[in-house]
Amino acid sequence: MLWLALHFHSLSLEVFSRGAAVPEPLVVVEKQGGRTWVVACNGAAEACGVHLGMAAPAAQGLADGLIVCKRDLSAEQESLAGLAVWAGRFTPSVSLEPPDGLLLEISTCLSLHRGLANLLKEARSGVGEMGYAATMACAPTSHGAWLLAKAGIEKAVRETARLETILAALPVALLGQPPAVLEGLERIGAQTLGDCLRLPRGGVARRFGQALLDELDLALGRRPEARAFFVPPASFERSLELPAPVHTAEALQFAVRRLLPELEGFLTLRQAGVQELELVCRHERRNNTVIKLGFAKPTRDAGRMQLLLRETLGRTRLEAVVHTLVLRAPLVLPLSASSADLFQKTREADGDLLLERLRIRLGKDAVYGIETAADHRPERAWRPARGPKRAAEPNRHRPLWLLPKPLPCHDGSLKLTSGPERIESGWWDGGDVARDYYVAEDKSGAQLWVYCDRTSGEWYVHGVFA
């Protein structure tokens, strides 16, 4: 087995800061022992002299306009679950390591992602796109990979013997043991995992408990570990609180981009796509603004979603400032990609994208497809499509371009080249016709679709062949 551990060391800060395109001084504070302390701060705050462990009032005195956020453990767990959903694009075997980590079993999916190096590159890129930072490490045991990631050692270790050598140098503070156990180990001079491993097992168990030995055995693969894998929700809904109120829809594009990779991972794991998205903009003391986005066909391509959202937001006017965004996928549809879709964009996909962009710019009712209708009269043999339909086979004796209204034809030089096609229909709705259709050619060589009205004997041009 091969495990990939991701340690999100700044998660408490990033749940507040990742929606901002330009970072402003921001700190996360937590009440401890009757006082409020800084537990996380971004680079802009550090540049003002703020540091971890500083009292919150002192930090506010150092930085003008400092954004102070109370630590939100529930938001951190929601973000971790969202990251687990995103990680489903790599492997279905994703396990949570609360409060700030993920573990992925990747041995079965390396060939799909063209090797470990490429998988790590994709994972790091995806984490950055969502506005997070993570330390990544690989090892043949899940707990061994996790200890490496927590220590900041970004290595891919495949051999158990090499893993034991590297882990032996790590400090015991990385272990998930109670403070009393860690203090006891420090008192006897056991500062590293290697020091613990050299101690007599019986004495360690009596003095510090069996849990310490069990954790060391898990990390070294000497004891099997049964991990519970993350089960994705049935539907997708993710929210993002903005660091500062946003006044224009165009300014929301950066924040929306943070949520789309999570949706793409969710859809990949479910082998599904969406044909409609909802972006909910929450205001203070105002009704939510709901922006809907429709696709010609189900998709899970985050790049395509981002392009159409940018088009839509550019034409949206907000009635009030926005403090939180919510991205919803109300209906998830099965989607199976063809082998060609893995390597190249199809013409059909390009056509769908053009149709979607035109609908955004011109209006949903102004752009539509067509489908055949059960009527022999040419002007009534089609209708606007109500969803994706398989195109009917073209009739080579009929043109694709019909005139809005048949035009009288008095030119006797037309040469009839094929026909007639007799149509007598419509008696039941008062629009009855009796016509003989021909393909004709004029002096310039253009091919026309003409008919003779059998009731009046008049000739008309009804269509033009390309």
Q: What is the pLDDT of residue 196?
A: 95
Residues 54-112 have pLDDT tens digits of 999 999 999 888 999 999 999 999 999 999 999 999 999 999 999 999 999 999 999 98
- The pLDDT score that the predictor gives to residue 340 is 39
Query: Helix axis angle, 73-87 relative to 116-129, nearest 10°?
Result: 140
First to last CA, the chain: 62
CATH superfamily placement of domain 236-356: DNA polymerase, Y-family, little finger domain (3.30.1490.100)
More confident residue, 309 or 7: 7
Which spans in 221-293 are helix H? 253-270
**Range in 96-110, 197-211, 219-233, 393-407 the model is least confident about:** 393-407
Please give the mean pLDDT across all residues of the chain: 87
∠ CA 53-57-58, nearest 5°, is: 60
Question: What pLDDT score was predicted for residue 313?
Answer: 86
- 262, 377, 379: which is closest to 328 by C-alpha? 262
Q: At what angle do helices 73-87 and 253-270 cross, to 10 degrees?
A: 50
Q: Where are the domains of the chain?
A: 3-24+70-220, 26-64, 236-356, 394-464
352-379: per-residue pLDDT in tens?
656 666 665 656 665 666 677 788 888 8
Number of other CB atoms surrounding residue 302 within 10 Å? 21
Residue 297: burial class (beta carbons within 10 Å; 0-12, 13-18, 19+): middle
Least confident piece of the model among 130-144, 270-284, 324-338, 375-389: 375-389
406 Cβ contact partners less than 8 Å away, ≥ 6 residues apart = 451, 460, 461, 462
Say which residue, 277 or 389, is predicted with more confidence. Answer: 277
**Domain at 3-24+70-220: CATH code:** 3.30.70.270
How far apart are the C-alpha atoms of 178 and 215, rounded to whole Å? 12
CA angle 56, 9, 81 (to 5 degrees): 105
